[in-house]
Amino acid sequence: TQLLEQSPQFLSIQEGENLTVYCNSSSVFSSLQWYRQEPGEGPVLLVTVVTGGEVKKLKRLTFQFGDARKDSSLHITAAQPGDTGLYLCAGKDNTDKLIFGTGTRLQVFP
């Protein structure tokens, strides 16, 4: 069974701080996606990374796919209260479905 472990599980920070969330697996994925989920809603896709070593930026968010395509990281610069939510990584396995990570719950205080 493929597992995606995220760390930290919980993160509580002040507005303006930087943070990094990690997503790790022993399995290789053909692509990896990051989602953000707010209470009462379904997850919303933030980014897809495909190539080992790939880095993508989305405003203050930077996503990196590991060289071996087994891990990924999400870095947020100058966090804002609007960044609060549950961050989920998801890897595409050799069938056409996503395996989701354990999730990182981020709380940003004003």
Partner 1 sequence: GAGVSQSPSNKVTEKGKDVELRCDPISGHTALYWYRQRLGQGLEFLIYFQGNSAPDKSGLPSDRFSAERTGESVSTLTIQRTQQEDSAVYLCASSRGRWGASYGYTFGSGTRLTVV
Residues lying near partner 1 in the complex (CB under 8 A) are found at 4, 6, 30-31, 33, 40-45, 48, 86, 88, 90, 92, 95-103, 105
Nearer to partner 1, 42 or 82 (CB): 42
Closest contact distance (angstroms) between CB of 26 and partner 1 is 17
Whichever of 82 and 95 has its CB closer to partner 1, that residue is 95
Instruction: Specify the amino acid at residue 25.
Output: S
Beta-carbon contacts of 20 under 8 Å, excluding residues fewer than 6 positions away, are 73, 74, 75, 76
Nearer to partner 1, 35 or 108 (CB): 35
